[in-house]
Amino acid sequence: MLSRRYARLFMLAFGFPLLLSLLAACGAGTTGGGGAPTTRPQSKVLLTYQGHADRATTVAWSPDGQYVVSGSLDTTVQVWSATTGKTRLIYRGHTDGILAVAWSPDGRSIASSSLDNTIQVWDATTGAHITSYRGHRLPAQTLSWSPDSREIVSGSLDQTAQVWGVTTGETIRTYRGHSAPVTTVMWSPDGTRIASGSVDTTVQVCAAASGKTLLSFRRQKN
């Protein structure tokens, strides 16, 4: 089940009806109630990592494909080998469950966001803390690095997407185009644009340098 604090944040951000739907989904089995079993294609499990003490909520690959970083409700972020499953390091800088992790394109750093309402950047090899970002009013649930690994965009339950400096931890710009929590963000490969998706059912593209909205994709009416 969801942690009590996470459930409270969801109720504040999304409303009680959506929280009930989410809890029902979390408790659902692998087949529909009373219906025929769902047929799924068979796949081979290459590796199972069991280093966390609670539910893993987010994962990301290292750029070279050698490691995986995973964040958990046990408050830790763990880096481990994708070939052996051996733990490389455990980051313990957060005080509450982890919501998102992202590995920098240059492979040197990892960013992690938490229910403790901080986003922390740390060395991917040593675990040494680099900076913390506290610009959001509510926890950030999605992160994306700029292609040059100098900036991060974070999307939050506070309905904003914020761009900030990795070394300074200072806000560079705040995008306020959404009317509901931001659930996903992604920096374009050429570094010029940022896409963000929200509970408001829109996906918006803005200019990374100015924050100006370039495009807003909405559900097409029949």
Residue pLDDT, tens place only, 170-197: 999 999 999 999 999 999 999 999 999 9
Q: Can you point out the beta strands (E) in the chain?
A: 56-61, 67-72, 77-81, 87-91, 98-103, 109-114, 119-123, 129-133, 140-145, 151-156, 161-165, 171-175, 182-187, 193-198, 203-207, 213-217
For residue 43 the two structure tokens come to 């796949």
For residue 170 the two structure tokens come to 């200072």
CA count, 13 A, side-chain hemisphere, 163 = 25
What value does the mean pLDDT of the chain take?
A: 88
Supply the CATH classification number for the domain 51-217.
Answer: 2.130.10.10
pLDDT tens digits along 69-96: 999 999 999 999 999 999 999 999 999 9
So where are the chain's domains?
51-217
